[in-house]
Chains A and B, each alone.
Chain A
């Protein structure tokens, strides 16, 4: 019985590899806050990934018992009561971006069940830090014909 010719197998796998390298993006940080994003149909795609800072607002994963919302900016975690410290962190983040600071965008990944009070506190911190371009992240709803 002749052996199966596997000489083209590496090429095949390499093409799959390249496909994945192109369509995916590096995961920036570990998310420690559980977030269920809202769904939408009128969404735009966020370009220029380098100047984006992610802020997650949701239920902290390491403390499941407490229902208190948590905020995560990069690897920093804040509780609801510490929201006033956020401004300093955003300013720091802005400095880190250097020349790209003017193009800084903040992607807010907020859980559906978060109340507007907390969001408005976060927005006030962003305004004070002059990070004015924000972006409410959401998942695309596919069933609508948009």
Chain B
């Protein structure tokens, strides 16, 4: 056993590639790429425990959307005047519903544009306060004050039991997009930014969201021919 200068043979690494290939294929098989995208909805409490003192909403502050069994959409915004018929829309005309909903929501938002079709609600107005997770109160930027909640209106969405889910989803989405558009417009106006999603902080976006709170309420689907 002398101090012979023996050369240590290198580890044969030629199979590492094969091993990692097997790992790679394993991961390709057991995992999936599809991330979860969708619409988030909050359900009301069970019917038997719902408080009976549901705030009464005046008809003029109601946007009624009804999807029938033939997947046609009937929209009644506010109180119909003498001889006025509800608006009937097809699934591919939903863009119209979006514009109508935006107009309706703005008109029913205190401080928004005045629209004689939808008189302003005269309920108690409460100002928006927002305290974030860190316990800091976030305020609207300078020059903007007295922002009140827009919880004066309600959008009701009712379907028939045989309405297709696809149509219901599209209507839901259009109503969501009306709120999103208004929040976007509000953010651009108040903060003076071009792309609110990218330029504003999460707290600022939350403030914009609270300016236009989602007031969609869903009624139980009705059976064909039976009306509530």
Contact = CB atoms under 8 A, between A and B. Distances in A.
Interface of A: 6-7, 9-10, 13-14, 16-17, 20-21, 23-27, 38, 40-46, 49, 52, 107, 110-117, 119-120, 123-124, 126-128, 130-140
Contacts of A43: 37-39
A68 to B, nearest CB: 15
Given A13-B24, A107-B38, 4 more contacts: A115-B162, A116-B161, A117-B161, A120-B220
Contacts of A119: 165, 168
A57 to B, nearest CB: 8
A79 B28 CA distance: 32
Interface of B: 13-14, 16-17, 19-21, 23-24, 27-28, 30-33, 35-47, 67, 159-166, 168-170, 172-173, 176-177, 180, 220-221
A119 B221 CA distance: 10
26 contacts: A10-B19, A10-B20, A17-B24, A20-B27, A20-B28, A24-B32, A25-B35, A26-B32, A42-B39, A115-B165, A116-B162, A116-B168, A117-B161, A127-B44, A127-B46, A132-B43, A133-B42, A134-B40, A134-B41, A134-B43, A136-B41, A136-B169, A137-B38, A138-B39, A138-B173, A139-B37
Nearest to A46: B36
A46 B168 contact: no
